[in-house]
Every structure is written in structure tokens, then in C-alpha cells.
Structure 1
């Protein structure tokens, strides 16, 4: 019985610590109209683009069905255990509407450069505070990231 009480006490303290806002965190800006300095002082950081190699992704108004199909396979292997295709949070956030909330560049940079995005991007940091689980690096290639993005567009109703 004592072990259960100790375990429950440790669990409650851990949860309270994880959920506390803490006064030592800096406020992340949500101004998406201009370039902002990230916590590392990088004045060239663009929160609309994310941190990574994708600076301009050409997105057609119509869906690339072949890429979306390839992205579906990647989702089933690497993404589906943590992300639902609805707006419901599983481990990570649900994917419904994700292509309306984030740019193609941001999504593809996050998929291929997860650690730097979580360390520098205010949107990624905000999602981490909600989900409480850091997304692991899935070693997604550039082509796979594009395919997953097309699959996300399909999930969001693009035809």
C-alpha cells in the first residue's frame, strides 16, 4: 500500500510540474507578419517558414494523387501511431485542417528537421506544451515530406 501511495504522489507532482506554466519561460510571439528573433537570438528566423531547407514549396490548386497515395503509406508506417486524421489529439495533434493552419514550408521543415523546429519555432514549442511529448525524428526524406504534405492536403479535402 505504501508503494502505491508513493507512486501516486510522485505521479501527481510530475503532472503538476509538467502542466505548470512556470515564470521562467519567455513568451513566444505570434506575430506572423514579420521576422522575429528566436530564443537563440537568430534575427533571420521566419515563423511562417519554419527552420530548415524548404523556403518555397510550389503547391498546385489540385491534388497530386500519386504523391498523396505515397504519403498515405508513410502515414501508416511512421505517423499514424501518434496522429489521427481527425482534429482529435492522440499523442500528437490531429491532422484535420493542418494545411490551413501551417504553410507547406513549415510542415515539410517540421517533418524533416523536427529537433531544430522544436528548439526554435514558437508554433512547434506551443504544440509541445499542449502535447507534452516531443515528436521523435522519423528520418523523413525531402520527397517523403512532400508526399506526406500531399496526403495531408487530401485529408483536408483538396481534390
Structure 2
């Protein structure tokens, strides 16, 4: 009986000591947690950077914007996107100016083409959903060509000259 009490006391003491170990109270725990979330997300490195959707190759804008495509993108943006997005200010969704500095053109296209899948499976899209009061982006049924035209528009000087 006396031996079992000693074993219980020793076991409890050991458990308390071990629970107090681990972590230095600094930012390392947060970094470890973020790294663990990335690996647990099940996304490839490509999907982490460029999103989840039909665009599976890196899109590069090149040195010069295709102004004809950008004009088409402006028309699509004005028709399909302005209910939630403004170019120079936060609205229901994020402002579009500067989005290509924060996200790759491929990510933006995948967000346009697969908003449901992005919000469901991509950690950055999930953060954006929370930041914008749980207002999910609707799927507008656009083609890859139309999504690319919107990206060209966002990258063009037309963006800077539009007061939307």
C-alpha cells in the first residue's frame, strides 16, 4: 500500500515536471505551429504559393502588359467584380491594386476560377474569408482566358487611372 502511494506521487510529480517543459515562450512555437499547419494542409509547394484550381502552371505577366487583353479584363472586371471589389480601396473584398505584389498571377487566377475550393482548402484564402467577415467570393463562371484578362487589367496602367 505504501509503495503504491509512493509510485502515484512520483508519477504525478514526473507528469507535472514534463508538462512544464517545452517551449521558451518566444516566437519559435508560433513558427513551429505554422510550419506544422503547412505540412498538415496537404497542399503541394506549388499549391501553397499559387493556389488550388485549374491553373497548374506558373503564369508570368512578362515585361509588357497586353493592353488589348487588359481592356477586355477591365470590361469583365466592371461587369463581374465591382459589386465586391474596388481597385483602390477595401470594400466587401480586398482592393485589387497591389494584389499582384501580395499574390502570384497564378494564385489570383485560381482564386477567380475556383473560389470555393480555395476557401475550403487554402490557408491564405481561409484567412481572407475571416478578414472579410465571412463573405465568400462567388464563382462567376469565368474561363481561364477571362481570368487572365482580369489579371492583365489589374497589372495595367488602366488600374491606376480608374477611380473605382
**TM-score, normalization by structure 1:** 0.70
Superposition CA RMSD, Å = 2.0
Q: Determine the C-alpha separation between the residues in 2 that align with 1:80 and 1:116.
A: 22
Structure exhibiting the larger radius of gyration computed from Cα positions: 2
Once the 2 structures are TM-superposed, how far is the Cα of residue 53 of structure 1 from its aligned partner? Answer: 2.4
Structure 1 residues 64, 43: closer, same or farther in 2, change over 3 A?
Answer: closer
Q: CA deviation digits over 1:96-138, x for unaligned, max 9? A: 1001110011000110011000111111111111112011111
* Long gaps (5+) in structure 2: 1-32
Q: Determine the C-alpha separation between the residues in 2 that align with 1:36 and 1:156.
A: 38
| Bigger mean CA deviation after superposition, 148-157 or 105-114 | 148-157
| Runs (4+) off by over 4 Å | none
* Partner of residue 115, structure 1: 116
Structure 1 residues 156, 121: closer, same or farther in 2, change over 3 A?
Answer: farther
Q: Determine the C-alpha separation between the residues in 2 that align with 1:142 and 1:105.
A: 10
Q: CA deviation digits over 1:57-112, x for unaligned, max 9? A: 132111110110000000111001110110x2111111110011100110001100
**TM-score, normalization by structure 2:** 0.68
* Long gaps (5+) in structure 1: 1-27
- Structure number with the higher helix fraction is 2
Aligned residues between the structures? 122
* Partner of residue 17, structure 1: none
| Bigger mean CA deviation after superposition, 46-55 or 146-155 | 46-55
